[in-house]
Amino acid sequence: MDVSGFEGFEKRLELHFFGDDPEIFTLGLRKIDFESIQQVLEAVQCTVVSAVGNSYFDAYVLSESSLFVYPTKIIIKTCGTTQLLKSIHHMLHFAHHLGLTLCSCLYTRGSFIFPKSQPFPHTSFKDEVTYLEDTIPSNLCHRKASIMPSKSSSHSWHVFTANHYSVSHPHIPYDNDIFTMEICMTELDPILARKFFRRNRDGTTGDSAGKEMTELTGINEINPNAVICDYAFEPCGYSMNGMDGERYSTIHVTPEDGFSYASFECAGSFNDDIVHMLMKVVQIFRPGTMSISTTWNECNNEISPEKCLKPEVVAAAEAAKVEEGGKNDR
């Protein structure tokens, strides 16, 4: 195992479910109790440090990143040396008891800063794909694994998707106007990164210190409408989940010099001012390198995400003088 610092690059897993009872869309997966949530996270090797919910979904700040639970969708992203894919078996078990069946799986990650420190099954993308192939149910028969290169030889985007083709099922709601955008940033401005270190013996809790960092850095201005649940770690590091109606956003920061990293992820609409949002994020972190990934459900032929979104992402990336990473459709 190589000498390493904390691995900031997250692994991200998104699972979609469906059921025959329309009532599942009222609560569905949100019926999973906290003890069961803890059981899922124990397999991943992380814990809940803060949580918030609204009428649409529940958001958990984890000791290593975030978990979002919707009635028929779960998004979990974890950093460090967590074993994210080991959560799948438990999630499928709890979903089955609610009468839900998995219909879509998306696993993504960037290139690890310290790949040799990762435990199985995250020892390589090949191992991850093999584990996924063996774990997800056979009804997800349309599967694809891809490694998408970027302009940087040291960074690639790893994607695994699996679906069953009943996307027209009457009880599976898709919003073709909504996309997910992930921004991965390294080599953060060292002066700005110091804002994510806690003051020694200041007596504040992780919640109150997180709130202070949110306001001090201007993170609260990225989306002023969002309800923010934030947390500051000891001695450094920061996580935040934002809730704006049914949309989520999340930020995670590893500020240590030499392997500094920050990520921003949000659910957005094609009507949003993407350039303005990206520029706000860049102004907060001033990264040396930045990659962007966008993902959406393209189920309506009348909508062309390639035409609607790509020019704005390119313009924002060029304006920020950063690297633009891969785009993947699902």
CA distance 315 to 98: 44
Buried b (16+ CB within 10 A) or exposed e, 155-189: bbbbbbbbbbeeeeeeebeeeebebbbbbbbbbbe
CA distance 134 to 38: 24
- 256 marked among binding-site residues: yes
Residue given tokens 């438990």 in the structure block = 90
- Catalytic (active-site) positions: 65, 79, 239, 252
- 285 marked among binding-site residues: no
CA distance 293 to 180: 8
**CA distances from residue 316 to 42, 143, 188, 294, 329 in whole angstroms, order as listed:** 39, 32, 18, 13, 20
The whole-angstrom distance between residue 151's C-alpha and the CA centroid of its chain comes to: 22
- 6 marked among binding-site residues: yes
Task: Specify the 3-state DSSP secondary structure of 317.
Answer: helix
For the chain, the 3-state helix, strand and coil shares in percent, each to the nearest 5, are: 30, 30, 40
Q: Which residues carry a binding-site annotation?
A: 6, 64, 233, 256
Q: Which residues carry a binding-site annotation for substrate?
A: 6, 64, 233, 256
